[in-house]
Amino acid sequence: MGETKASIRAAALRRRDSLSATAREQKSRLIQSRAVEFRVYGDSAAVALYSATGSEVATELIRDHALRAGKELFYPSVAPEGSLRWNRCRLATDFVRGRYGILEPAGSDYRTSLEAAGLVVFVPGVAFDLLGGRLGRGQGWYDRALASFGGAVHTIGLAYETQLEEGPIPTDTWDQRVEYLITEGRIVDCRDRPLTSAVPETLSMKRGC
């Protein structure tokens, strides 16, 4: 019998948490540097970003770059009924602790949905496979939110190399894959790959990406 989501999530969390604070900071900076230089982000008019919690890949450098570049910037917030809504960020210094203690923009400029055209969503995760399969925190918030966008949004997973699974992560019908993965070592294009595919080509090896 193959590994379950729970066992994969637990093992990936142990690997991620085993990184020292110094290593996480260095790797997060490399990942964010790759992200802001990535053409998909560069072409975007609006960005949905997450606030890192625990040992997740940090996102402050992307936040600061997006604000300087004049992009619309949004962060997820868990509404009382349990769905994700999107809160507009205008100032890098204006954040408060929201539900579950995760930082989100102060104020109440909430959107229940975002215009998909020109939108890039940076997605956190506990584990990813190289076909874009993702295991999140286990609540399904991002899966439901991404499904509501349809296919008109670009999705980018941020992860350390240690979070990547060699084999496919088991998925359910509601699970949403990401189009790209960015780690400290590479950018992986996960689009249009058959689910039985081997390791996909990395964009860092492609000219012009």
- Summarize pLDDT for 185-203 with one digit per residue, the tens: 999 999 866 555 444 445 5
- Write out the two tokens for 64: 């600061």
Question: Which among 21, 23, 22, 50 has a CA at the least distance from the CA of 35?
Answer: 50
Instruction: Please report, as a single letter, which amino acid is at residue 190.
Output: C
What single-letter DSSP state applies at residue 80?
T
Q: What letters, b where the CB count within 10 A reaches 16 and e where it falls short, cover 91-105?
A: eeeebeebeeebebb
Name the DSSP letter for residue 103.
Answer: E
Question: Which has the minimum average pLDDT: 9-13, 18-22, 101-105, 108-112?
Answer: 108-112
Distance CA 173, CA 143 (A): 10
Backbone angles phi, psi at 182, to 5 degrees: -120, 125
d(CA 99, CA 22): 28
pTM, full prediction: 0.87
Interval 105-161: pLDDT, tens: 887 787 767 776 679 999 999 999 999 999 987 667 788 878 777 667 899 999 999
> Which residue type sits at 145?
A
pLDDT for 103 beyond 80: yes
* Mean pLDDT in residue range 43-68: 95
State residue 195's pLDDT score: 54
pLDDT in the model for residue 116: 65
Confidence of residue 208 (pLDDT cuts 50, 70, 90): very low
| pLDDT tens profile 64-92 | 999 999 999 999 887 777 677 888 999 88
Residue 18 predicted with pLDDT over 70 = yes
Contacts of 67 (CB under 8 A, 6+ apart): 73, 89, 90, 91, 92
Longest dimension (CA), the chain: 50
Amino acid identity at 112: T
Q: What is the pLDDT of residue 135?
A: 92
User: pLDDT digits over 156-178, tens only?
Assistant: 999 999 999 988 898 777 888 99
Identify the structural domains of the chain with CATH numbers, from first to last: 5-205 (3.40.50.10420)
